[in-house]
Amino acid sequence: MKTSPTQQHLADALTVLKKLQDDGKSVIKSTELKRIQLSSLVKNGFLRQILKGWYMPSRPDEQMGDSTPWFAAMREFIAGYCTERFGDNWHVSPDLSLSLHAGSTLLPKQVTVHSPLAKNGTLSLPNGCSLFDYKAVESMTADKVTMVGTLRVLMPETALIKAPPSFYRNHARDAQIVLSGVRDVSTLLRELLEGGHSTIAGRLAGALRAVGRAEHADQILATMRSGGYMVTESNPFEELLPMNLLTHSESRHALRIRLMWHEMRQPVLELFPQEPGIPENIDLFMSRIEEQYQLDAYHSLSIEGYRVSDELISRVSRGDWNPENTREDSESRNAMAARGYWLAHNEVMATIRRIFSGANPGTAFRSDHAAWHRSLFSPSVDAGILSAVDLAGYRNAQVYIRNAAHVPPSKEAVREMMPELCDLLEAESSSAVRGVLGHFIFVYIHPYMDGNGRIGRFLMNAMLASGGFSWTIIPVDRRKEYMEALDAASFGGDIRPFAAFVRSCRVE
């Protein structure tokens, strides 16, 4: 089939876009492409405009209003745009700096950046987001600024001094994580003394004591008072903190999900009925699960940021690509997914039987979930759609969840968070909590490149079954409600909508 000039232009443009993406770019400037390449990529849905001169990769089959490309590009855009305007003379706000140091993967709808070159202006961005540039009085010296990912942030000590009191109320979890990681207060004390920050010193002393750092609190009080300052200690947190949770982990990522579990556990217990207990007739219980199998198939939640492949470029060059005619590819993928789901389902059934035979549910998940994932995708490997290396463990790249503000943590964080999740499952006495929080935190971590939603629901059902709860099916027509409930827990920290949603989906 002869390639038309239009198709050849698109193939050439895709080749350039692929190279930019292979170089790590998730935001494309118009100056990086020829005009005809930019026009072709935008026309065919491979690029979407952020604002004049700035673009983000997208998928040709995306629906209007799909927020996934934006949340995949947001951090890199903010970094690139601010660097273009302010050079190295900018950083995000103190409270956002602390949240990012605490391992938060969320950005607020309005991101505030500080710079002496700013003009106190607001820039509207996609999906209801905005960027506010705050005109700072002075520049921050290089030793007070560092990088978290692509974003310039204040060092933790500087951010703790500059953060408002409301940070400890509105972002208590992030404050606890940062404070619990303080190993020495010399830098804090230097800045407190240089600035004469007696009120802030009292607040930091109270906050450090609240997270079990009494020696640091005493050191701040004694040093400030010896310097002639009147300091009154005050605890900025509204509630007593779970001291035992803050003292036995060197990982901020593990600590984050431990605190989430602690905060969310009680609401789940309040919303779920008492567990029935292990069934007397296990074979009957398992047969009823099998009866529900056909209704239980559901598409994955996970979505990888759209990337140009060599195969796509080749198909466009040959004239074989048509964005409106993907039925054959779709049917092939669906067939592999259906076969993989059946194989993984059988692995999960074996895990549940082990639990009924006395295995700790969390321990069973720890040992078995890799086999669930391998089974889910082994037909695609056998068919040559995926490489065997794709089944070699947790992901080695960033992933994104369709239309979710939550961006899953880094690949490095995954390897700290998954053992912690297994520890939490092993220690939890309530099967309802294991099921609801196990599912939520698993998809929050998103440890695999694909299949996270399916594995998350298998985890939920295995943990619920461990307490005798019947199989829970998430209906396709309630997907929007499902995603919104998960997002409320990820973005707003409220697990109640998700716990209530799961309870409403249970099959009696």
Binding-site residues sit at: 450-457
**220, 201 in Cβ contact below 8 A?**
yes
Alpha-carbon span 410 to 391, nearest angstrom: 18
**352, 466 in Cβ contact below 8 A?**
yes
**128, 109 in Cβ contact below 8 A?**
yes
Residue that has been written with the tokens 């990529």 in this structure: 41
Long-range contacts of 189-195 (CB under 8 A, 24+ apart): 189/219, 189/220, 189/223, 189/224, 191/157, 191/158, 191/161, 192/161, 192/220, 192/224, 193/223, 193/224, 193/227, 195/161
Alpha-carbon span 69 to 127, nearest angstrom: 10
Alpha-carbon span 457 to 438, nearest angstrom: 9
Question: Which two three-digit tokens encode residue 417?
Answer: 């968070």
Residue 51 CA to its chain's centroid (Å): 25
For this structure, is 369 an active site residue?
no
Amino acid at 2: K
Task: Spot the catalytic one: 91, 369, 439, 446.
Answer: 446
Nearest to 201 by CA among 179, 217, 187: 217
What are the binding residues for ATP?
Answer: 450-457
Task: Encode burial over 433-463: b for 16+ CB neighbours within 10 A, e otherwise.
Answer: bbbbbbbbbbbbbbbbbbbbbbbbbbbbbbb
Three-class DSSP category at 110: strand
Q: Is the Cα dihedral 142, 182, 106, 460 positive or negative?
A: positive
Residue that has been written with the tokens 């207060």 in this structure: 185
Three-state SS for 209-255 is: HHCCCHHHHHHHHHHHHHCCCCCCCCCCCCCCCCHHHCCCCCCHHHH
Alpha-carbon span 179 to 157, nearest angstrom: 10
Alpha-carbon span 16 to 41, nearest angstrom: 10
Three-class DSSP category at 477: helix
Q: DSSP assignment, residue 109?
A: S
CA distances from 309 to 18, 21, 380 (A): 7, 10, 17
**153, 97 in Cβ contact below 8 A?**
yes
Alpha-carbon span 223 to 380, nearest angstrom: 64
Which residues does the annotation mark as catalytic?
446
